[in-house]
Structures are given as C-alpha cells and as structure tokens.
Structure 1
Amino acid sequence: MSEVFGFDAFSPKEIARKVEDVGATKARLPLRSMLMLGILAGAFIGLGALYYVIVRSDASLSAAIKQILGGMAFALGLILVVVAGAELFTGNNLLVMAWADRKITTFELLRSWAIVCVGNFIGAVGLAILVFLARHAEINEGLIGQEYLRIAAQKVSLPFWTAFFRGVLCNALVCLAVWMAMAGRSVVDKVVAVVVPVSAFVAAGFEHSVANMYFIPMAMLLQMGGGNESHGAITWLTFMHNLIPVLLGNVVGGSVLVGLVYYLIYGVARNTDD
C-alpha cells in the first residue's frame, strides 16, 4: 500500500518501479519529441538560473542568505521540468535503473542521454541569447551583469577534479529531488519535494551541467557586448574545461549514487522474488 508510511504518497519500492517504467518510456520517445523536450528543459533550468542571479546580485544580503534564497529561486527550473514536463539530462540519469533491469538497451540509454543533453544545450544557450538581447543584465545598475561574470569566472577556474566531485554531489541531490517528486500525487507534493534538495546543492556551491550551459554562455555574451572583463576571459575553451568534468560528475552522482543504489535495494530484490 502507498500509505504504509501514514501519508498519501508512493512508497520507495513503488517509486523504483515507476522510475523504471517511466525510464523505458522516455528512452523510446521519438527523436523530435525528445529533442524538443530537451530544449524546453534547458530553457527551464536557465530560467531558474536567471532567478538565482537576481538574488545573488543583491549586495545587501549576507553570503549565506544569498545562497539559501538563491537556491530556492533556482528550484524554479526543476519545478518547471517536473510539473510542466521536459527532458533534463541530469534527472534522466535515473534511466540507468531501467537499463539495469534490462527494460532498455545500452544504445537506447546512451541515445537518450546524448539527444537530451544536446537539447538542453540548445535551450539553455537560446535562453541566454534572448536574455542578453532583452538587456536584463543592465537591471540594478548593471549589478546583475557583474554577477553573471563573477559566477562564470569562478566556474571556469575550477580544477578538473573539483568540478567533477561538485558535479557528483550536485546530481545526487538533483536525482533525489526527482525521486521524491515521483512519490507525490499532487503539484504541491512535487514542488515541496524539489525545493529543499535543489536549494541545498545550490547553497553548497555544487555544479550542475545544464545550469552552466546558461551561466557561462551568458557571461560570454556580456563580454562580447562590452561587459567588464576584470574577472578573466571566459571562452568556449574554458567553458569546456568546466562542462566536461561537471557532466561526468553529474552522471556518476545521478546514475551510480542514486539510480544504481536504489536498483540494488529494490530492483534486484524484486527480480529475486519474481
């Protein structure tokens, strides 16, 4: 029964089955649908990142308050993905459960990840271009633009392994947020499940690959438009220096620390019982 814990939510065992079944469906989406849903997710995460920067640019707030409130604002992105519907690379690392249960093939898993990741990139960069053209960064006397440059400069300067392990920790929390959202039966349930884990990873300064697909190109656009370059040059090369380890870390955090762990707990036991 779903109410074994005394509240109207799916149990962890039921969530595991749902994640596998949904994963099998996601992996077999037609190319156009998968790509367009990926583009939407990239834009959604970008909107959460935009909201986060507004909070971060407020000099009147303490560092801790900026991070906590900014993390809650950033949660908008994953809320839109979960409730409005979209395909997010980091959340889709949970497809590994369907793969481990042999409901999808290795090719289907990798195809889904690749197409969704490309779609996320298009959506995030596309939103950055629109936001740049809207001159959003000039709000608050240009402090928002300066914050974009600071955030991007910090990200591209991270050493490989630091970026990797921050990516691991980030996506463990993101996939736990998606996992708990699957337990909910209402929009409110899903929103509440998402906000705290997402705000935690943002407050802790962990690295989300799709968010970085918005942050760093936005900073590059600001530089090309005459933004302050005192934080150091931000280029496509330094972008890749950040994105590659963060992507790899996100895969390990979501697929291994969440997806495969829960499969070993619930999937293997279920298959043994069967």
Structure 2
Amino acid sequence: MSEIFGSDAFSPKEIAARVEEVGVTKAHLPFLSMLMLSILAGAFIGLGALYFVIVKSDPTLGFAVRQILGGAVFSLGLILVVVAGAELFTGNNLLAMAWADGKISTLDVLRNWAIVCCGNFIGAAGLALLVYLSRHADMNHGAIAQEYLTIAAAKAAMPFWTAFFKGVMCNVLVCMAVWMAFAGRSVVDKVVAIIFPISAFVAAGFEHSVANMYFFPLAMLLQGDGATAGAITWTGFFSNMLPVIMGNIIGGSVLVGLVYHIIYRRASLPK
C-alpha cells in the first residue's frame, strides 16, 4: 500500500492508525493544557472567519468569486490549528475512531468535547471582543460591519433542520481536511490538503459551530453600536448552535470517523 502512495505521504490505512493514536493522546490531555489549546483554536478559527468577511463584504466581486476566494482565505483557521497546534471541537469529533477501538471511554470523549467546545467559545468570543475594540469592522466604509450583521442574522433565522444538515456537511469536509493533513509530512503538504475541503464547505454555505462562536458575539457587539440588519440575540445564537453542533458531530464522528474505522481499523481488532 505505501508503495502505491509513495514515500512522501502516509497511506489511508496509516492515517487511520495515526488518527486513532492522536485521539488517545488528545483524550488524556491535562485539563489546563486542553483548555488553553482549545482557546487558541477558537481564536484561530475566528481569524479565518475575519479573513473571510473581508472578501465577502466586497460588492465588486461576483458571487462565485466571493464564495470561493472567501473559503480559501478562511482556511487560515484550520491551517493555524493543525500547524501551530490547538484543540478544535469539530476536528476532535474524530476521537470517535479511538472510542470505537475501545482505547478511550465514552466519558473521555464527552469530557474532551465539552472542555474543547467551551474553550473554543472563549477563544472565538474573546477574539470577537478584540476585533470589535480595534474598530476593524469600520473598514470599507462600514461594509465589513454590515456583512457581520447580515451573516449572523441569516444564521439566527435558519430553520433547525437546515442548520443541522449544513452542520453535517460542514464537518464531513472539515474532518476530511484534518484526515488528509495527517497524510502530509511537511507544512506545505498539510496546507495543500486543508485548503480545498475547507474552501468547499465555506463556498457551499455550510455551518461550522466554532466559526459561529465568533460571528454571533461580534455581530451583537456591532449591533450595540446602532448598525442594523435585524435583531441578533443570544436566543438566536443558541437556536443556531444546537442543530449545528449536532450536525457537526454526526458529520465528523459518524460519516468520517466511524466509516474509516470500519474500513481500516475494525478488521485489525483482536477477536
């Protein structure tokens, strides 16, 4: 198998073993390390979202250009997570592989997801506050601020099942990006593996729970300045987060993690 894929990349079977091994390590991180790394990941994804909004707010670009270019620059978030090191809730849905092999418990998985999700929110919301105080959103004559408000209002108004399935599709692509990054041996390898799946989910308008942890707080802060695009509230935030998180878990844990477990790891388990 390794000869087919060449010496410069890990084969899918090798990736499965690496994802499982890393999953065990992630599940057993000390609380403070896990929390701090997850705060970083929330901020990193927020930086990708910030980059995306700069492109998205430019009315001189066509729809497809804004979506695809915006998705490409959003990839900065996962590149920072993978290369610099951080704990991201959506990527950690791949812990399902180590769980399916019996190497970590259900409690280990839920502990990791709960801590990392909370840390991601702290990092994303903290970045939103810093961005707000920097007056970044005043750029382009306030078009960036209006774009944040438009994005958040659309997410808050999204029907439950639409948000759920957008969350599913998002994390299929995010976890495939993480999966393929495990194949790389260099930073360039990892960056190339990440860009296309991430830009695809953003261009398609799918829902990423951690990105939304940045969009909503910043939009609410901007709304307080008198900008208008419909009322954006914490109720709208939680009505979006519940189905999106559920969808992210199904997309990443079941449609990627457990599928690859069945393909590559189940046969290797002791009888």
The answer to whether the 8 Å contact 1:3/1:10 transfers is: no
Same amino acid, percent of matched pairs: 72
Q: Distance between the aligned counterparts of 2:166 and 2:3, measured in 1? A: 35
RMSD (Å) for aligned C-alpha atoms: 1.0
Q: Deviations over 1:192-250 (max 9, x none)?
A: 000000000000000000000001111000001222x2x21000001001011000000
User: Superposition pairs for residues 57-136 of structure 1, below 5 Å?
Assistant: 57-136=57-136
Conserved? CA contact 1:156–1:239, under 8 Å: yes
Letter in 2 for 1:71: G
Q: What whole-Å deviation, never above 9, does each CA across 1:146-200 have from its counterpart, x for those lacking one?
A: 0001111111110000000000000000000000000000000000000000000
Letter of the aligned partner of 1:46 in structure 2?
A: G
- Distance in 1 (CA, whole Å) between partners of 2:95 and 2:140 is 42
Paired residue for 1:51?
51
Deviations 1:108-152 (A, max 9, x none): 010000000000000000000000000000001000000001111
Aligned counterpart, 1:28? 28
| Contact 1:70/1:202, CA 8 A, preserved across alignment | yes
Out of 243, 267, 271, the position equivalent to 2:265 is 267
Which aligned pairs between 1:242-253 and structure 2 lie closer than 5 A? Answer: 242-253=240-251
The aligned residue for residue 202 of structure 2 is: 202
Query: CA offsets per residue over residues 39-64 of structure 1, 9 Å max, x none?
Result: 00000000000000000011100011
Q: Aligned partners of 1:151, 1:269: CA distance in 2, in Å?
A: 45
What is the rounded CA distance, in whole Å, between the counterparts of 1:126 and 1:240 in structure 2? 18
Distance 2:179 2:3 in 1: 17
User: 1:146 corresponds to which residue?
Assistant: 146
Equivalent in the alignment of 2:168: 168
C-alpha separation in 1, matches of 2:211 and 2:245: 11
Using the size of structure 1 for normalisation, the TM-score is 0.97
Given the alignment, which residue of 219, 238, 241 partners 1:240? 238
Measure, in 2, the Cα distance between the counterparts of 1:187 and 1:51: 21
Count of residue pairs brought into register by the alignment: 271
Alpha-carbon distance in structure 2 between the residues aligned to 1:251 and 1:171: 7
Match of residue 17 from structure 1: 17
Letter in 1 for 2:100: A
Q: What is the Cα deviation at residue 6 of structure 1?
A: 3.2
Moved segments of 4+, more than 3 Å = none
Equivalent position of 2:38 in the other structure? 38
CA distance in 2, matches of 1:254, 1:5: 24
Rounded to whole Å, the distance in 1 between the matches of 2:122 and 2:5 is: 42
Q: Which amino acid aligns with 1:8?
A: D
Q: Which runs of 5+ in 1 are unaligned?
A: none
Deviation of the 1:8 alpha carbon:
1.2
Which digits, 9 at most, give the CA deviation of each residue in 1:5-56, with x for residues without a partner? 2351000000000000000000000000000000000000000000000000
Give, in whole Å, the separation in 2 of the partners of 1:191 and 1:81.
Answer: 11
Given that 1:36 and 1:119 are in contact with CA atoms closer than 8 Å, whether structure 2 keeps it comes out as yes
Instruction: Give structure 2 stretches of 5+ with no counterpart.
Output: none
Look up the equivalent residue of 2:115 and give its one-letter code: I
